[in-house]
Amino acid sequence: MNTNNNCPEKITYGWDNFSKILTFIGCIFCLLTAYEAFLGLLMISYAFWRSRSKNVMKRTREERSLLKFLNDAFRVIYNIRHGRISLKNLRLKNRKRYKKCPRCGNLILLKTTTKNNVLSCPKCSLKFKAK
Ligand SMILES: [Zn+2]
């Protein structure tokens, strides 16, 4: 017993949601392959270290950022499920735009700097206007 310490009993941080989630995921990892079991043990030992930690401020900040991250992740999933964010629209936005050649049907990538908006087909060398 450390009698010199005049702080009340609770000096370590203890178990929070972050540590519990870490231990839970670590246990699942332990059931998998050897490499993942090693990662799982690391996670569990980190969770134990956190619970024994005396830097309460830092641990609280860690937990808060985890909860914020989870909250954001769940919000995105919720929005996708309720059709507020459509995966189709996201994909369309990222897709490069192509123009079909009117003669041979070859797809030509639309470049943003086309001279007079004229495209030339590499297959049949037809020049046509891109809208
Ligand atoms: Zn063509």
What tens digit of pLDDT does each residue of 71-96 get?
999 988 888 888 776 666 655 555 56
110 CA distance to ligand 1 centroid (A)? Answer: 14
Query: If you average pLDDT over residues 43-48, what whole number do you get?
Result: 93
pLDDT digits (tens, 9 = 90+) for 8-29: 556 788 888 889 999 999 999 9
Q: What are phi and psi of 107, to 5 degrees?
A: -85, 125
108 CA distance to ligand 1 centroid (A)? 9
Question: How many whole angstroms from 118 Cα to the centroid of ligand 1?
Answer: 13
User: For residue 93, how far is its CA from the centre of ligand 1 (angstroms)?
Assistant: 26
Angle between helices 56-81 and 17-30 (to 10 degrees): 70
Determine the pLDDT at residue 93.
57
Q: Please give the mean pLDDT across all residues of the chain.
A: 81
pLDDT band at 3 (very low <50, low <70, confident <90, very high): very low
User: What spacing in Å lies between the alpha carbon of 28 and ligand 1's midpoint?
Assistant: 55
**In this prediction, what percent of the chain has a pLDDT beyond 70?**
78
